[in-house]
Chain A
Amino acid sequence: MAMTETRPDAAPERAAARDRPVDEPVAAGGLAGILGTGRHAAIGRLWIGTSLVFLVLTGALGGVLGAERLKPDTYNVLNQDNYAQALSLHGVGGLFLFAIPILIGLGTIVVPRQVGADSIAFPRAAAASFWTYLVGGGMVVVSYLINGGPFGGNEKGVDLFLASLGMVVVALVLASVCLATTVLGLRTTGMSLARVPLFAWSVLTAATIWIASLGLLFGLLVLLYVDHRYRLFAFGASTDIDRWLRWTMTPPQVFAYAIPVLGFAGDVVPVFGRTRARRHGLALAAIGAFAGLSFGAWTYLGQSDNPRLYQQFLFVASAIAIVLPVLLFLAFFAETLIHGRPSLGSPLLFASAAMVMVLAGVLTGAIRAVHSLALIDTTADASISHYVLGAVAIAAVGGIHYWWPQVLTRPLKEGLGRLTAVLLLVGVLALALPDLISGLLDERRGSLGAVRDGVEALNAVSFVGGLLVALAALIFIVNLAASLAARSDGDAADPWDGQTLEWTADPVAVTVASATPVLDAKEAAEGGAA
């Protein structure tokens, strides 16, 4: 045999092994495969699955709290202490264990494909962030179970809460760094920031705001931990921890968790309007402005050291100004639909419902900022939180429906999806709106007691709204389970005639020279065929 002759293959497997680069690891299967995965889609699914588990937990707790408020003058199921603890876990769990993580999960799956990257930036850091979140989130729940957390009586349990919430915050910041870096650093050739799909853009802006604001929160948690660990209580005992966390759950910061909702709606509307996205630049600007105005870390001393903050011009002006980008975005949303031929797919219903929630949330936030109404620290705060959480939940469920080829690889039932969207819309409105009216009737948040006439009835409406949300969640879980039990369709399909890169078979191979490259490709192909 001459030296230049190619050696015959002994077996195809050996040939494949030989062709594989030396440093490419062999993918593990089973549990080792899950624990060691660095694939963005797998990590994203882990984020989504875990955050849904935490949603069920915090949602059930919300149900108990709602039932307790049916007779607001006395404590029935809970007592004063564990009512406050349950309310605290409901808030912390809803925002830090559900809302941000589920959006991170969706972003981790979709964003790399949307920008034409073959993976998320720092895949091992992305995986590490998920496992840190899982352990930290679990310990947050455990800390409440052992009578720790805010309002807890077990000092070590309070220490555990502060440490584990710090872990969760670090995990969320790390995941945000991975996502933001993916959009900024791994975009495919020709995809300038002006051409980035709206969801990817919203994830970039959201991640930036989350990194900054959660970074500040981490500093505070370290301080509170040291304070509490050495039993000095210079910054308050366990009953005061809630004051230090309030800024993360109230306007303007609470709106930062809803930034990707706008991106989801922006990506869905041209697809289901069956037209091109009109005024892409306007939508980018609206999302950017919404993100900028939702940065609320500067209000972190409002509940502790600077109560006059709520009367200051900057606070009031920013609370009102944030309505403008939402209205601008809705104009983009409506104009795209008006100029198209809309089809009422479930993702469009979810997107519309989520935008209603965002609008209701910012309007309530603007009303809350009017000092003479004295709405701060009333149930109006809960109303806004519920609008935001509702918007995130609706967008996340809508995102799973819309991006099922990437998220599930199996379709969800459209009819059940539409029913879920309508139930969530009605349920969240019924859940949140009465709390604003109760707030106007001076019902304080955080404790029960004598209330004015009408508040009891409003609480009942709110409870029914919660039941509708629970019913919607149940339908979604059934739909999800049926989908997961079905046979996989194999390769990612394009069931909606999508317009962004994630709908191409190989986004990495695409060089972008347009704001709507996938649609261009389809039009070019149709034109060529004609």
Chain B
Amino acid sequence: MTLVIADDSIGLPPAPPPARPRVLLIGTGFALAGIVLAFAGLIGLYLGRRAAAIESNRPWLPEGVTIDLTPGNVAMIGLLISAVVVQWAVYSIADDDRPRAYLALGLTVLLGGAYINGMAFNYTQMGITVHDPVGLLIFTITGMHLAMAGAGMIFVGLMAFRALGGQYSGRDREGIVAAAMYWHVTVLVFAVIWFTIFVTK
């Protein structure tokens, strides 16, 4: 039995129609807010310390250390492509084109793996270690981003398996949209890291 309660005395307008439940999407949004702030704090600290070093004419990067732009660019381009691909998955599932959605989700995970592999290679080339204050900041920020990308791959993969199990369709694609949103933010966070650490150094 549904109890409907009206109120005339307060004079509020009629209640709007119920919103479509978007629980996973809302939850993902909140979790992403926390993650973004974690990076914001660290990147703010990195920028603050770098500005202080420049202001006092101290070198920021240790002697002999070069942060090559090319690996950073490759990682950035790879992630940008993955952002397009994951959005392709959303549009495909919206059109009930399941084979293309599977392909796009699989490609997203693959590109995520390529990004992690590329960054791991980059670590070996940078000539900086965690035993240096700057290296500590760089490894913490990029390492946390690798963890974020890894979690994103699990999220996308999980949604892909759910889709394979027949869960999502054009009418209900919340899980895929939530995973895509997570992935877009992952790419966005890396764009800030790329600009801060790789471009402006």
Contact = CB atoms under 8 A, between A and B. Distances in A.
Interface of A: 121-122, 125, 173-174, 176-178, 180-181, 184-186, 189-192, 195, 207-208, 211-220, 222-223, 226-227, 230, 232, 234, 297, 300-301, 305-306, 504, 509-517, 520-521, 524
Interface in B13-53: 14-16, 18, 21-23, 26-27, 30-31, 33-42, 44-45, 48-49, 52
Contacts of A510: 2-3, 5
Contacts of B27: 121-122, 125, 177-178, 181, 185
B139 interface: yes
B29 to A, nearest CB: 9
A297 B37 CA distance: 9
Given A305-B52, A509-B2, A226 B41 contact: no
Contacts of A512: 5, 15
Nearest to A226: B140
Contact of A521 (B5, B12, B34, B136): B5
A465 to B, nearest CB: 36
A520 B34 contact: no
Given A185-B22, A190-B18, A511 B139 contact: no
A230 B136 contact: yes
A227 B3 CA distance: 58
A408 B97 CA distance: 51
B30 A208 contact: yes
A215 B37 contact: yes
9 closest residue pairs by CB, A with B: A215-B34, A514-B7, A190-B15, A219-B38, A234-B133, A215-B37, A216-B41, A185-B23, A181-B27
Nearest to B36: A215
Nearest to A176: B30
Chain B interface, DSSP helix/strand/loop, else mixed: helix
Nearest to A305: B48
A180 B34 CA distance: 13
A189 B133 contact: no
A513 B33 contact: no
Given A219-B42, A226-B143, 13 more contacts: A122-B23, A173-B31, A177-B27, A180-B26, A208-B33, A215-B33, A222-B140, A222-B144, A227-B136, A232-B130, A511-B5, A513-B5, A513-B6
A232 B12 CA distance: 61
A223 B133 CA distance: 11
Contacts of A517: 5, 7
A124 B18 CA distance: 25
A211 B33 CA distance: 7
A189 B52 CA distance: 54
Contacts of B15: 189-192, 195, 511-513
A121 B178 CA distance: 15
27 contacts: A173-B31, A177-B27, A177-B31, A178-B27, A180-B26, A189-B15, A192-B16, A211-B33, A215-B37, A215-B38, A217-B41, A219-B38, A219-B39, A219-B40, A219-B144, A226-B130, A226-B140, A232-B130, A297-B41, A510-B3, A511-B4, A512-B5, A513-B5, A513-B7, A514-B10, A515-B7, A516-B10
